[in-house]
Structure 1
Amino acid sequence: MKIFYCFLVFVVSVISGFAQQSDSLRTELLSQVNVTANRITVQTLETAGSISVISSQNSKVWQPRTTPEALMGTTGVFVQKTTHGAGSPFLRGLTGNQTLILIDGIRLNNSTFRYGPNQYLNTIDPFAIEKMEVLRGGGSVAYGSDALGGTFQLLTSNPSFSEKLTVHGRAVGRYSTGDMEKTLRTGLEVSASRVAFSGGLSVRNFGDLIGGDTTGRQSPSGYKDRAFDAKLLLRVSDSWSLTVAHQSVRQRHVPLYYRYKLENFALNEFNPQNRSLSYFKLKGGTPRKWASEISLTGSWQTTKEGRLSRKTGSSSLRTETDKVKTAGLIFNVQSDITGFWKASSGIEIYNDLIKSNKTDQVAGGSPVYGRGLYPDDSKYLNYAIYTLHRLRLDNLQFSFGGRFNGFRIDVSDEVLGKVLVKPKALVGNASVSYLIREKSNFYGSFHSGFRAPNIDDMGTLGIVDFRYELPAYDLKPEASYNFEVGYKFRSKSLAIGAALFQNNLRNLITRVQVKGQKIDGIDVYRKENVERAYIRGGELEAEYMFSGNWKLYGGGAYNFGKNVTKNEPVRRIPPLNGRLGVEYRKLRWYVRPEVWFADQQTRLAAGDLGDNRIPKGGTPGWVVVNLMAGYEAKHFAVNAVAQNLTNKDYRTHGSGINGVGRSLWLTLTTRF
Structure 2
Amino acid sequence: MTVLKANNYMLTLAEDPLALEEIVVSGTRWSQGSANLPSRISSISNRDMALQNPQTAADLLGASGDVFIQKSQQGGGSPMIRGFSTNRLLYAVDGIRMNTAIFRSGNLQNVISLDPFATEQTEVLFGPGSVIYGSDAIGGVMSFQTLTPQLASNGRTFTSGKAVARYASANKENTFHFDVNAGWKKWALVTSFSSNDFGDLKMGKHGPAEYLRPFYVNRQDSVDVIVTNDDPLIQRPSGYSQINVMQKVRFVPSKAWDIQLGLHYSTTSEYSRYDRHVRYRNGLPRYGEWSYGPQMWNMTNLSVTHKQANALYNQLAIRLAHQGFEESRISRDINRPSRETRIEAVQAYSANFDFVKALQIGTLFYGLEFVSDDVTSTGINENIATGVRGAGPARYPQATWASYAAYANYQHTLSEKTTLQVGARYNQFMLDATFDTSFYPFPFTTAEVNKGALTGSTGLVSKISNHFILSVNGSTGFRSPNVDDLGKVFDSADGAVTIPNPDLESEYAYNGEISLVKVFGTRVKTDLTAYYTMLENAMVRRDFLLNGEDSIVYDGELSKVEAIQNAAVATVFGLQANIEIKLSEEFMLSSKFNYQKGEEELDDGTTSPSRHAAPWFGLTRLTYNTKHVTMQFYAQYSGERKFSDLPQEEQGKPEIYAKDENGDPYSPGWYTLNFKANYQANDKIIIGAGLENITDKRYRPYSSGIVAPGRNMVISLTVKF
Q: Structure 2 length as normaliser, TM-score?
A: 0.87
**Once structures 1 and 2 are overlaid, which stretch shifts more, 92-101 or 167-176?**
167-176
2:76 corresponding residue in structure 1: 86
1:571 corresponding residue in structure 2: 611
Using the TM superposition, give the Cα deviation of residue 394 of structure 1 relative to its aligned residue in structure 2, in angstroms.
1.5
1:640 corresponding residue in structure 2: 689
2:576 corresponding residue in structure 1: 539
1:322 corresponding residue in structure 2: 344
From 246, 268, 282, the equivalent of 1:251 is: 268
Question: Are 2:639 and 2:669, in contact at CA under 8 Å, matched by a contact in 1?
Answer: yes
One-letter identity of the residue aligned with 1:645: I
Q: Does 1:380 align with 2:420?
A: no
SS for the counterpart of 2:294 is strand
SS for the counterpart of 1:660 is coil
Question: Are 2:80 and 2:612, in contact at CA under 8 Å, matched by a contact in 1?
Answer: no
**Once structures 1 and 2 are overlaid, which stretch shifts more, 30-39 or 404-413?**
30-39
Q: Does 1:48 align with 2:38?
A: yes
2:322 corresponding residue in structure 1: 300
Q: Does 1:619 align with 2:648?
A: no
**Once structures 1 and 2 are overlaid, which stretch shifts more, 386-395 or 614-623?**
614-623
Q: Does 1:553 align with 2:590?
A: yes
Question: Are 1:290 and 1:336, in contact at CA under 8 Å, matched by a contact in 2?
Answer: no
For residues 536 and 76 of structure 1, the distance between their equivalents in structure 2, rounded to whole angstroms, comes to: 15
Q: Structure 1 length as normaliser, TM-score?
A: 0.94
Q: Does 1:669 align with 2:718?
A: yes
Using the TM superposition, give the Cα deviation of residue 332 of structure 1 relative to its aligned residue in structure 2, in angstroms.
1.0
**Once structures 1 and 2 are overlaid, which stretch shifts more, 392-401 or 61-70?**
392-401
1:468 corresponding residue in structure 2: 497
For residues 364 and 482 of structure 2, the distance between their equivalents in structure 1, rounded to whole angstroms, comes to: 30
Deviations 1:233-259 (A, max 9, x none): 101222101100011101011110111
For residues 597 and 355 of structure 2, the distance between their equivalents in structure 1, rounded to whole angstroms, comes to: 39
1:349 corresponding residue in structure 2: 370
1:155 corresponding residue in structure 2: 145
Change (3 A) 1:532 1:312: same
Q: Give the length in aligned residue pairs.
A: 647
Using the TM superposition, give the Cα deviation of residue 337 of structure 1 relative to its aligned residue in structure 2, in angstroms.
1.2
From 361, 367, 386, the equivalent of 2:382 is: 361
1:610 corresponding residue in structure 2: 652
Deviations 1:5-55 (A, max 9, x none): xxxxxxxxxxxxxxxxxxx97216754211111233222233212110011
Q: Does 1:143 align with 2:143?
A: no
For residues 260 and 387 of structure 2, the distance between their equivalents in structure 1, rounded to whole angstroms, comes to: 51
From 499, 502, 505, the equivalent of 2:535 is: 505
SS for the counterpart of 2:87 is coil
From 165, 178, 195, the equivalent of 1:186 is: 178
> Identity over aligned residues, as a percent?
25
1:13 corresponding residue in structure 2: none
5+ residue gaps, structure 2: 1-13, 207-211, 213-232, 281-285, 437-441, 659-663
Q: Does 1:489 align with 2:518?
A: yes
For residues 190 and 79 of structure 1, the distance between their equivalents in structure 2, rounded to whole angstroms, comes to: 36
One-letter identity of the residue aligned with 1:436: I
One-letter identity of the residue aligned with 1:456: D
**Once structures 1 and 2 are overlaid, which stretch shifts more, 430-439 or 473-482?**
430-439
Using the TM superposition, give the Cα deviation of residue 406 of structure 1 relative to its aligned residue in structure 2, in angstroms.
0.7
From 270, 287, 294, the equivalent of 1:265 is: 287
Q: Does 1:98 align with 2:88?
A: yes
From 565, 570, 591, the equivalent of 1:528 is: 565
Using the TM superposition, give the Cα deviation of residue 505 of structure 1 relative to its aligned residue in structure 2, in angstroms.
0.7
Using the TM superposition, give the Cα deviation of residue 59 of structure 1 relative to its aligned residue in structure 2, in angstroms.
0.5
For residues 158 and 494 of structure 1, the distance between their equivalents in structure 2, rounded to whole angstroms, comes to: 33
Deviations 1:102-150 (A, max 9, x none): 1111111000000032111111111111111101112100110001111
One-letter identity of the residue aligned with 1:505: L
Using the TM superposition, give the Cα deviation of residue 605 of structure 1 relative to its aligned residue in structure 2, in angstroms.
2.1
SS for the counterpart of 1:530 is strand
For residues 437 and 53 of structure 1, the distance between their equivalents in structure 2, rounded to whole angstroms, comes to: 23
One-letter identity of the residue aligned with 2:600: N
1:454 corresponding residue in structure 2: 482
One-letter identity of the residue aligned with 1:139: G
Question: Are 1:626 and 1:643, in contact at CA under 8 Å, matched by a contact in 2?
Answer: yes
5+ residue gaps, structure 1: 1-23
One-letter identity of the residue aligned with 1:472: N
SS for the counterpart of 1:45 is helix
Question: Are 1:341 and 1:391, in contact at CA under 8 Å, matched by a contact in 2?
Answer: yes
For residues 193 and 547 of structure 1, the distance between their equivalents in structure 2, rounded to whole angstroms, comes to: 42
Q: Does 1:165 align with 2:214?
A: no
For residues 181 and 109 of structure 1, the distance between their equivalents in structure 2, rounded to whole angstroms, comes to: 29
1:4 corresponding residue in structure 2: none
From 193, 198, 213, the equivalent of 1:201 is: 193
SS for the counterpart of 1:220 is coil
Using the TM superposition, give the Cα deviation of residue 530 of structure 1 relative to its aligned residue in structure 2, in angstroms.
0.7
**Once structures 1 and 2 are overlaid, which stretch shifts more, 596-605 or 212-221?**
212-221
Deviations 1:85-107 (A, max 9, x none): 00011010110001111111111
For residues 561 and 329 of structure 1, the distance between their equivalents in structure 2, rounded to whole angstroms, comes to: 35
Change (3 A) 1:428 1:197: same
Deviations 1:196-246 (A, max 9, x none): 100111111011111111541111111010110011110122210110001
1:435 corresponding residue in structure 2: 463
Using the TM superposition, give the Cα deviation of residue 423 of structure 1 relative to its aligned residue in structure 2, in angstroms.
2.2
For residues 375 and 529 of structure 1, the distance between their equivalents in structure 2, rounded to whole angstroms, comes to: 20
SS for the counterpart of 1:97 is helix
One-letter identity of the residue aligned with 1:499: T
1:14 corresponding residue in structure 2: none
Question: Are 2:316 and 2:354, in contact at CA under 8 Å, matched by a contact in 1?
Answer: yes
One-letter identity of the residue aligned with 1:471: P
For residues 81 and 528 of structure 1, the distance between their equivalents in structure 2, rounded to whole angstroms, comes to: 26
Using the TM superposition, give the Cα deviation of residue 437 of structure 1 relative to its aligned residue in structure 2, in angstroms.
3.9
Using the TM superposition, give the Cα deviation of residue 461 of structure 1 relative to its aligned residue in structure 2, in angstroms.
1.3
One-letter identity of the residue aligned with 1:294: L
Change (3 A) 1:383 1:410: same
Structure of larger gyration radius = 2
1:219 corresponding residue in structure 2: 236
Using the TM superposition, give the Cα deviation of residue 611 of structure 1 relative to its aligned residue in structure 2, in angstroms.
2.6
Question: Are 2:469 and 2:517, in contact at CA under 8 Å, matched by a contact in 1?
Answer: yes
Using the TM superposition, give the Cα deviation of residue 617 of structure 1 relative to its aligned residue in structure 2, in angstroms.
3.8
Question: Are 2:340 and 2:392, in contact at CA under 8 Å, matched by a contact in 1?
Answer: no
Deviations 1:415-454 (A, max 9, x none): 3412211121000000111113443211110010000000
One-letter identity of the residue aligned with 1:509: M
2:4 corresponding residue in structure 1: none
Change (3 A) 1:437 1:189: same
Question: Are 2:340 and 2:381, in contact at CA under 8 Å, matched by a contact in 1?
Answer: yes
Using the TM superposition, give the Cα deviation of residue 518 of structure 1 relative to its aligned residue in structure 2, in angstroms.
4.6
Using the TM superposition, give the Cα deviation of residue 272 of structure 1 relative to its aligned residue in structure 2, in angstroms.
1.3
Change (3 A) 1:493 1:44: farther
**Once structures 1 and 2 are overlaid, which stretch shifts more, 520-529 or 266-275?**
520-529
2:300 corresponding residue in structure 1: 278
**What is the RMSD computed on CA atoms of the aligned residues?**
1.6
Question: Are 2:136 and 2:480, in contact at CA under 8 Å, matched by a contact in 1?
Answer: yes
Question: Are 2:148 and 2:190, in contact at CA under 8 Å, matched by a contact in 1?
Answer: yes
Q: Does 1:234 align with 2:276?
A: no
